[in-house]
Structure 1
Amino acid sequence: MTGLDPVPCHTSTCLIALSTIKNKELVLDFAPPYVPNNKNIVIYGTGWAAKFIPLLGHILADMAIDGKTDYDISPFALGYKYFKSLM
């Protein structure tokens, strides 16, 4: 394309965290019950989700503001049997 500088103005590295828990490619839920104020803490982590960012943003906003979302996020629940309190 004409007019573009062949030397990048900015370069970066994209890090991704992938879950090692079978069938947990994406984690989206409230913090576990052992975390104080857990219903005020929304967690999203792991997975290849860039193309879903607008939808995830909507879901996270619903959860943070309303305490719930109309979307079924049960497949993405933290799976509290995997995450235990350190205390």
Structure 2
Amino acid sequence: MHSLDRQPTPFRLAPRCCARTRQGVECQSPAVSGKRRCRMHGGARGSGAPQGEANGRYRDGLRTKEAVALRAEVRRLQSSARDLLGALSGV
């Protein structure tokens, strides 16, 4: 007899978490209401990374869209300057 057979009906009918466990099988815990995962695999309140500036990645601004675009523009300018210098030295 399977362990779920002895559980109350709402528990048996609840959607399952289905996250992969360390053993490589799907977790059979019920998903948290309104979520796709159980309380142990990310469905608990407050789980996940903080939003906005509370997240550590915003500490230095290295990965902002503006900083990434600026670095791409600098690389493009360096490349064109290298090409220009190569063309001038070949003359």
Measured against the shorter chain, the TM-score band is: under 0.3
TM-score by length of 2: 0.25
TM-score by length of 1: 0.26
Greater relative CO, 1 or 2 (CA 8 Å, sep 6+):
1
Please tell me whether Structure 1 or Structure 2 has the larger radius of gyration of its CA atoms. Answer: 2
From the two aligned structures, give the one with the greater helix fraction: 2
